Amino acid sequence: MRRSLRAAVRVSHSSPFKPWNTNHLQYRPLWVASPSGMSGTKRPGDGLGPKAGVKGWKRKRTAQETKSQPRPAGSHEEVLLRDVELLLGQSHELSCGHPQSDTTAPEQFSQIELSIAMLGSTGDGLAISQDGTRVYVVPFTVPGDKVVAKVVKNFPSYSMTDLVEVTEPSKDRNDDLIFCKYFGRCSGCQFQMLSEDYQLQHKQKVIAKAMQNFSNLDPSLFPSVGGVMPSPLLRGYRTKLTPHFDGPRRGGFKEGAPVPDIGFQLKGRSFVLDIEDCPIGTDAVRDGFKSQRNYVKENLNTFKRGATLLLRESTERTFSSGASDGPETTQSYTDVKTCITDSKALVTEWVGRAKFASPAGSFFQNNNSILEKFTGFVQEQLVIPGLAERDSSESYLIDAYCGSGLFSICCGHGFKGILGVDISSQSIESAKANAKENGIHNARFITGNAEAIFADVDFPPESTSVVIDPPRKGCDELFLSQLLKLGPKRLVYISCNVHTMARDIGWLVQQDLGKDYSIDKIGGFDFFPQTHHVEGYAVLSKNS
Ligand SMILES: C[S@@+](CC[C@H](N)C(=O)[O-])C[C@H]1O[C@@H](n2cnc3c(N)ncnc32)[C@H](O)[C@@H]1O
ipTM of the complex: 1.00
At 409, which amino acid appears? Answer: I
CB-ligand 1 contact for 401 (6 Å cutoff): yes
CA triple 307-313-316, angle to 5 deg:
145
Domains of the chain from N-terminus onward? 3-177 (2.40.50.140), 209-232+365-542 (3.40.50.150)
pTM of the model: 0.86
In 186-282, alpha helices (H): 196-214
- 274 assigned to a ligand binding site: no
| Cα 372 to ligand 1 centroid, rounded to whole Å | 19
Q: What is the pLDDT along the chain (544 residues), one digit of tens a residue?
A: 232 222 222 222 223 333 333 333 333 332 222 222 222 222 333 333 222 222 222 334 444 444 456 788 899 999 999 999 999 987 665 554 443 444 579 999 999 999 999 999 999 999 999 999 999 999 999 999 999 999 999 999 999 999 999 999 999 999 999 999 999 999 999 999 999 999 999 999 999 999 999 999 999 999 999 999 999 999 999 999 999 999 998 888 988 899 999 999 999 999 999 999 999 999 999 999 999 999 999 999 999 999 999 999 999 999 987 655 555 667 799 999 999 999 999 999 999 999 999 999 999 999 999 999 999 999 999 999 887 655 667 899 999 999 999 999 999 999 999 999 999 999 999 999 999 999 999 999 999 999 999 998 999 999 999 999 999 999 999 999 999 999 999 999 999 999 999 999 999 998 865 578 999 999 999 999 999 999 999 999 998 7
- 90 assigned to a ligand binding site: no
Ligand 1 atom 23, closest CA: 423
| Cα 403 to ligand 1 centroid, rounded to whole Å | 5
Sign of the dihedral through C-alpha 241, 245, 249, 250: negative
Residues with a catalytic annotation lie at: 496
d(CA 524, CA 279): 24
The burial of 340, by beta-carbon neighbours within 10 Å (0-12 exposed, 13-18 middle, 19 or more buried), is given as buried
Sign of the dihedral through C-alpha 79, 80, 82, 83: positive
Distance (Å) of CA 483 to CA 326, 471, 505: 46, 17, 12
d(CA 510, CA 87): 27
d(CA 136, CA 134): 7
Q: Which atom of ligand 1 is least distant from the CA of 495? A: 1
Distance (Å) of CA 481 to CA 72, 288, 454, 509: 17, 44, 11, 11
| Cα 486 to ligand 1 centroid, rounded to whole Å | 20
Q: Which atom of ligand 1 is least distant from the CA of 363? A: 27
